[in-house]
Amino acid sequence: MELFQLRQFSAIAEFGNMREAADHLYITPSAMSQNLKKLEEELGTPLFDRAGRRLVLNEPGRLLLKCTRQVESELAEFRVGLDHLIPQAPVTERPIVVGGDDSGFISYVLPLCLRDKSGFDVLGKQLVNTEAAFTKALLRGEADVTVGMKYIGREDESIISVPILERQLFISVPESNELYDRKVLTPIDLDGQRCLQDYSKASSSLKSMFAKMGVHPIRAYQCDRSSFPLLYDNPELLYLVNVFRLLQYRRIPGRRLIKFEIPSEYFDPLYYMSYRKSNPYAKRFYEWFMGEYYEMFKNIRRKNFE
């Protein structure tokens, strides 16, 4: 039983709906459903009953929710106490090497998580985007953990892979655009729209997807770094924001962020964190990161969506 499973279970109990709970935690409903199934199999009992479209806690579920809230409360109390007891205490005696196939994670997510908080000394390492490269890096000790779209460990039981992040896209829509009041946007909605795209890592896959669907957005600009000045100078543009850029996105008056749903056959939706069971540094980093990641995305939701 993992902390991320308990957090997802708690969210399902809170919302009573798999999709709403998954949106709240920025993961896919299918991934959340699989994690709930594994948790129920481990415990040997269902945790919810269905009432129409709602998921309602049964007796074992209510007991687990009570225990989960106690665990979350005690962990929060522990973190506060630890901050006072040993502020910025080093957690490891050597740097943690995080390998990834997407520089966005290394460039945007890790610095925000680690800034003056963890005590971890982290080095980012760019890896070739193949399962073999990720597995080799872990087994040879070239990386302590890897983060990417590769599920590692199918053939090696010494490696754990856990879904940590949905590879979502959002669109910043100006108030003057007819799409402004929509709750969700799809590729078809972008046909003929003028867009600013800075998600350059996925440019080829998005371009291919649009071509296959017969959709023709107008790419007005494409850039790799600061896009915000262009938005102020061109207030009519739509802006594609990936989940990493969302961490740096500043709310702009007259705009709102809308989730951009892409069919899974065109866009692999999940990021995984993988590490060797025998690596204590990696396990400690994973446990810390999942707690920090959860808090970080709660703050993002409050800042940009509430």
Assign domain 169-260 to its CATH superfamily. Periplasmic binding protein-like II (3.40.190.10)
Check if CATH label 3.40.50.620 holds for domain 96-166+268-304. no
At 136-191, the pLDDT tens digits run: 888 888 889 988 777 776 667 788 888 776 666 788 888 889 999 998 898 899 88
Q: Looking at the predicted structure, is the pLDDT value of residue 58 above 90? A: yes
pLDDT at residue 242, rounded to an integer: 65
Percent of the chain scored above 90 by pLDDT? 10
Other CB atoms within 10 Å distance of the CB of residue 253: 6
pLDDT at residue 171, rounded to an integer: 84
Q: Which two tokens stand for residue 234?
A: 């061109």
Rg (CA), the chain: 20
Instruction: Kindly list the domain boundaries of the chain, sorted by start residue.
Output: 3-85, 96-166+268-304, 169-260
Cβ neighbors of 261 (< 8 A, separation 6 or more) are: 184, 185, 186
Tell me if domain 3-85 and domain 169-260 are identical in fold.
no
pTM of the model: 0.57
CATH code given to domain 3-85: 1.10.10.10
At 66-103, the pLDDT tens digits run: 998 888 777 767 766 655 665 444 444 567 888 887 65
